A and B are shown apart, each in its own frame.
Chain A
Amino acid sequence: MRYIILLKGAQPSTPPPHALMEAIMKLGEEATKAGALLDTAGLAPSAAGARIELAAGNVTVTDGPFTESKELISYALYDVRSKDEAVEWGARFIRIHRDHWAGWEGTADVLKVMGPEDFAPPS
C-alpha cells in the first residue's frame, strides 16, 4: 500500500546544512534499495506557485506566496506493507532533521494513497 509523506515547516531563512542534505540522500538511497521509496522531491516555496479556488461558483487564481505559517517543503511516496512502516520511514526522515539542523521544527503528515485494497468489491 502507498503512503505519501508531506513535510511542512516554516520557510527557513538559511539553506539547509550540507550534512542534512547528505543524510537525506543516504536515507533516500536506503529506502529505494529497500524497494519502499517510489518517488520524492523537494517543493519550491509557494511564492513560485499559484492557488486555484472555487467559491460560490467562482474560480479564482491567486499567485503565491500563500499566507500559511508553514510551507509544504517536500513529498515522498512510499510503497510499504503497513502504516507503521510508513510512519517509521517518516520518523527517520524527521529524526535526521533533528540531528543535523538545530532549531528547525516541522511536521510530516503521513497520508494513505487509496489503492486496490480500498475498493474491494462487496463480498
Chain B
Amino acid sequence: MTGSDANQAIEAVWRMEAARVIAGLARMVHDVGLAEELAQDALVIALERWPETGIPPNPGGWLMSTAKHRAVDLVRRRAVYERKLQEIGRSLDEAAEPDLDATLDDHIGDDVLRLIFTVCHPVLSTEARVALALRLLGGLATDEIARAFLIPEPTVAQRIVRAKRTLATRGVPFELPAPAELAERLSSVLDVLYLIFNEGYSATAGDDWTRPDLCYEALRLGRVLAGLMPREPEVHGLVALMEIQASRLRARHGPAGEPVLLQDQDRRRWDRLLIRRGLVALERAEEAGGRFGPYALQAAIAACHARAPSTADTDWERVAALYTVLGHVAPSPVVELNRAVAVGMALGPGDGLTIVDALISQGGLEGYPHLAAVRGDLLAKLGRSGEARQEFEQAASLTRNASERTLFLGRAAQLSASP
C-alpha cells in the first residue's frame, strides 16, 4: 500500500466512524465542538500510525479509545478544563468495566441520535445545521461541503466554528429532546436532511456531478435515522420520499443535460432497487401507525408515480386525494397547484383549470412560472391553443432557469404550429 492509498483507506474509515466516535466523546465531554477536535486528533494519530501497523480490527473502537486518551491528556494539561476532567474521570471509570466494547455498543445508538438532534438544534441557523450535519454526521471535510454547496470554503469553516460556539455558549445539552418537544425537534432534523437532499436534487446537470452525492448523503443519513427511530412514521416517510425521488436521478436529464419532466421520463431508467426500498419504507411508515405527516404524504404521492407504468396509467384519483390531505396537513399554494394538475388528469382539464383560476384569484403564486405553465397545459388540453401559447410565453419570461425557458418556449412554438 502506498502512502496515499493508505491515507485514502484511513479517511474512508474515518467517514464511516466519525459520527459514532464524535457522539461517544460528546457524551463524555458534554461539548460537541471539543468532541470533534478530540476525534480529529485521533484521526491525525491514525494517519501517522496505521500506514505502518495496518488498519486495526476495530478501527472505530481504536479511534474512540485514542481520542479518550487525548481527552485525558488535554484536560490534565489545561487547568481550565478542570470541571471536564472530573466528568471524564467519571466516564472513564464507567468505561473501565471489563467489556469496554459492549459498554460502548450499548450507548452508541443513543449517542448518535443525541448528536443528530444536537447538530439540528433550533438555536442554530438553517445553514449552520446543514454544515454541522454534513461535517459531524457525514464526516465530510470543510472543502467538500463548500464544493457541494458552491460556497467559499472560509464561509463554511466560519459557519461550523460559529455553530459549535453557539451550542457551547447557549448551553445546549447533549441530550435527546424531552417528549413534549420531540415532534418539533424531529421535524427540524427531517427538514435539515431534506434540505441537503434537495440541494443535490435541484442542481442542474452538466459537469457538476458532485452534487448528486448530496442526495445520497442525505439518503444515507435518513437510513441511519430510520434505524435509530424505527417507530417514527415521518422518518420512514422521509426516507421513502428520498429513495423514490433518488430513483429518478438517471432519468431527470437528457443527453445534453436538459431537464426532463416526470411525465416525459423514460421510466426504464428509473432505479428499481431504490423504488423497492422506497415502497418498503412507506410500508414501515404505515405500520408505525398514526396520521401521515407531510413527508409520508409526499412519499405516498411519489409512490403512485413509481408504481405506474406510464403517465396515463397513473392512479391520478389517488394522487389528487393525497394532495388534498397534504393541503390540510401542510397548506401551500404549490401543493394546491400540484393538486390542480392531478385533478386535471383524474377528472379532466376543466376541473384542473377551475382550481388554478381559484388559486390565481387568491393571489397566490404570483410570478411563479409553473403556475403559468400548468394553466397553459390545461388550456392546451381544452383546445384553447391561443390562450395556452400566451401562458407558456409568460412562463418562459418568468423563469430564471435557461433550460426551463427553452422547454416553455418549445411548448409555445408547438401551439403556434398547430391549427
Q: List residues of A whose CB falls within 8 A of some B CB.
A: 1, 32-36, 38-39, 77, 79, 81-82, 84-85, 87-88, 91, 95, 115-117, 119-121, 123
- Closest CB-CB distance, A39 to chain B, in whole Å? 7
B8's contact among A33, A82, A119, by CB below 8 Å, is which?
A82
Q: List residues of B whose CB falls within 8 A of some A CB.
A: 8-9, 11-13, 15-16, 55, 57, 109, 205-207, 209, 212-213, 216-217, 219-224, 227-228, 249-250, 253, 255-257, 273, 277
- Closest CB-CB distance, A58 to chain B, in whole Å? 30
**What separation, in Å, do the CA atoms of A32 and B220 have in the docked complex?**
10
Residue of A nearest to B221 (CB): A35
With most chain A CB atoms within 10 A of its CB, the pick from B8, B216, B228, B273 is B216
Excluding A88-B16, A121-B256, 11 further A-B contacts by CB distance (< 8 Å) are A34-B220, A35-B223, A35-B227, A38-B273, A79-B219, A81-B216, A81-B217, A82-B8, A82-B12, A84-B11, A121-B253
A79's contact among B11, B209, B220, B255, by CB below 8 Å, is which?
B220
User: Given the complex, which residues of B lie within 8 Å of A117, measured CB to CB?
Assistant: 209, 212
Give the dominant DSSP class at A's interface.
mixed
Q: A81-B15, A119-B250 are in contact. Are A34 and B224 (CB under 8 A)?
A: yes
**What separation, in Å, do the CA atoms of A51 and B223 have in the docked complex?**
37
- Closest CB-CB distance, A77 to chain B, in whole Å? 8
- Closest CB-CB distance, B242 to chain A, in whole Å? 11
Contact between B212 and A116 (Cβ–Cβ < 8 Å)? yes
**What separation, in Å, do the CA atoms of A87 and B15 have in the docked complex?**
13
Residue of A nearest to B13 (CB): A88
- Closest CB-CB distance, B18 to chain A, in whole Å? 11
Contact between A123 and B206 (Cβ–Cβ < 8 Å)? yes
Residue of B nearest to A36 (CB): B220
